Amino acid sequence: MDRLPAQHGFDWIDDMCLSEGACVTFTEHDDVRHVAAAFGGRMDHAVLIEGVRPLDEALGVVEERFPGTWVGKGLPVALFARLSGWVITFEDNGGEGIRKEILERASGTSRAASVFWNVNRVTRGAFAEHGRILAEVSDGIPVVHGAGDGRIDAALEGLDGEDPLGFLFTLSARLTGQVFTPESLNGEFLAVPLVPWPQPDADGRLLRPEFDGALGDALRSAGEGSLRRAALAAARYAVSVAGISSHPVIIDTLAAWPERPALLERMARSVGSRRADDPNRIPQQARPARAEPTPADDPAGGSLRIALEAMRSLHRRQMGYPEGVSSSEPGHAMAVQALVQATETSAPAIAAYRAIAYADEARRELRHDVTELREAVMRAFAAS
């Protein structure tokens, strides 16, 4: 430890594509796919971005090849690249690499170090060796686990916590020998969707792999047929609880599955950007009754109400929504999106995850318990 890297500023991060928030992980291994699997990567959906590329170009390819990821509606996608006997992992606005569950797996036979920050400049760092976390840093405060051999205490000497990222990346360099520079942002990247490992306090409150270990195991290992059946089961549940399972378009879609009617495609596009958890939207069952216009308010005897309803009806038709299915009703939009995902023909693990996630949002909008959805999905995974 005689020649420790000096602490340097990382202001250049503000000018790069990861400025808003990211997780950068260094893992001592020469096999990118091995490291990606430790992150929970679904390797049969991995995309090799050929040729040495700048990171921002690689992120653009991810956005194109993995739709939905950037609006929080898909599995997280990480970029992996070789780096002189190590693998460097980039997660744009992600944080899997900083998790204990990931670092322990990634460092099983070697070392791994991770640096995380978000848009509010909350920072965290961790260092692991041989499957064990040896040090963690949260907002500049280091915690060393176990007596160790003095390496971490020595690596912390002289570091200034006033520059949190400088502190963390310098500590990482001292412990791994891998210095993070602007040149580190160039490489031949492998883009891999990640199925998150369950959190230690997972309680099944949502049907997501980080909260339900059995679901995560199925999403990581199931074959194409099982994945598609699980997606369909989630969609069937969603349209049922949303009360639109008897709609002709929905009936035709379920009968024709895995094909997707054009009308369903238009419906999906019209609601694709609406968030289910919009805090400003009042659920249907909580909405106060709307007073009908009185003659004083509407001298034309109801013409205003009729005109407004005609405008709403026209808008629904223009957006591809037939009568009886509305993008503004609780559960409708999410149920339609679940059905759309169930008819996707590529990347079945991603499609299954999204169908399940949308169905989960539909049942939350309608305040249904998660049990029935979980049972329907897991039965479909178990079917031969």
Which one has a higher pLDDT value, 177 or 308? 177
The neighbour count for residue 357, using CB atoms within 10 Å, is: 25
Scanning the structure block, which residue is given the tokens 């059905």?
339
Question: Residue 4: which pLDDT band, with cuts at 50, 70 and 90?
Answer: low
Give the span between the Cα atoms of 240 and 82, in whole angstroms. Answer: 47
Question: Residue 302: which pLDDT band, with cuts at 50, 70 and 90?
Answer: low
Instruction: Give residues with Cβ within 8 angstroms of 281, minimum separation 6.
Output: none
pLDDT of residue 281: 38
pLDDT in tens, 45-81: 999 998 899 999 999 988 888 876 655 678 999 999 9
How much is the average pLDDT of 8-27? 83
Give the span between the Cα atoms of 375 and 233, in whole angstroms. Answer: 10
* Beta-bridge partner residues of 135: 127, 144
Residue 340 scores a pLDDT above 90: yes
pLDDT in tens, 181-207: 889 999 999 999 999 999 888 777 889
Residue 248 scores a pLDDT above 80: yes
pLDDT of residue 83: 87
Instruction: Give residues with Cβ within 8 angstroms of 210, minimum separation 6.
Output: 196, 197, 198, 199, 202, 216
The DSSP output letter for 288 is: P
Give the span between the Cα atoms of 42 and 23, in whole angstroms. Answer: 19
Choose the weakest-confidence range: 66-75, 163-172, 222-231, 286-295: 286-295
Strands 22-27 and 86-92: antiparallel
Give the span between the Cα atoms of 378 and 219, in whole angstroms. Answer: 11
H or E segment and range at residue 251: helix 248-256
Give the span between the Cα atoms of 199 and 211, in whole angstroms. Answer: 6
C-alpha pair distances (Å), 351 with each of 121, 185, 355, 366 = 33, 30, 6, 23
Residue 102 scores a pLDDT above 70: yes
How much is the average pLDDT of 96-121? 93
Q: What is the mean pLDDT of the chain?
A: 84
Residue 93 scores a pLDDT above 60: yes
Structure token pair of residue 351: 């499609």
211: nearest Cα among 357, 43, 41 = 357
